[in-house]
Amino acid sequence: MKKILFAGSMLCVIMLFGAVSVPAQGTSSGGDQFNQFKPEATPSAPPAGHKVRYTLPYYMSQNSLAGSRSVTIINVMNQSAKDCNVGVQFQYGSGVTDICDITIDIPAGQSRILCSRPVNDPLADCQVYCPSGGLIFNSGHAFISSNSVCTKIAVDALMAFTSDVDDNVVTGITPLTIVKYNKVNVGD
């Protein structure tokens, strides 16, 4: 009886560790499996006439917890010779429904700041932010879009942390990753 229990236990251990040590194998037939990226998250629908240009894989925006507030600040520069319209579509968590969709016109050669919620200058001079007080207890991902004449945009984003209700005491700032839409992150 003891031999049967011991043999059964050893079989379970071998199966468990044997399965863990088997390397995963790609299923693509030619080419690097990582270059076959297909995004799971997509914008519900960018604003009319817009094309999604970039993905912001993570944002956070909240002002509901005392002493711990955050805001996502996105700076878009129009590098083209024509005026254009840009937008940001924020989505909650891993969902695919836009919870905030903001747009703004940017003259040629200028930049504008789009925010997840209103904050006071000098933290950020937000020219547009999510309506109704902004995103106040959210995290997720976002898409940055522009109209067809606006293909040359530069995008930068950061998340700022504050500790007072007026957002005057900045406790931290971290840059956020921007990835070209439908492309993999290359460590940037």
pLDDT of amino acid 187: 75
Whether 33 is covered by a domain: the verdict is no
CATH value at residue 114: 2.60.290.11
Whether 166 is covered by a domain: the verdict is yes
pLDDT of amino acid 22: 33
pLDDT of amino acid 42: 63
Whether 17 is covered by a domain: the verdict is no
What does the pLDDT look like over 4-19, one tens digit per residue?
444 444 433 333 334 3
Segments in the chain below pLDDT 70: 1-43, 188
Whether 104 is covered by a domain: the verdict is yes
Return d(Cα 171, Cα 169) in angstroms, integer. Answer: 6
The domain in which residue 112 lies consists of: 50-180
pLDDT of amino acid 155: 97
HEC string of 62-91?
Answer: EEEECCEEEEEEEEEEECCCCCEEEEEEEE
Whether 3 is covered by a domain: the verdict is no
**Total domain count, the chain:** 1
Strands 111-115 and 128-129: parallel
Whether 56 is covered by a domain: the verdict is yes
Whether 28 is covered by a domain: the verdict is no
Which residue do the tokens 């504008």 mark? Answer: 112
Return d(Cα 139, Cα 61) in angstroms, integer. Answer: 6
Whether 16 is covered by a domain: the verdict is no
Dihedral angle, C-alpha 57, 101, 111, 55, nearest 10 °: 20
Query: pTM surpassing 0.85?
Result: no
| 3-state SS assignment for residue 27 | coil
pLDDT of amino acid 43: 62
pLDDT of amino acid 6: 41
Which residue do the tokens 């999510």 mark? Answer: 130
pLDDT of amino acid 67: 85
pLDDT of amino acid 61: 97
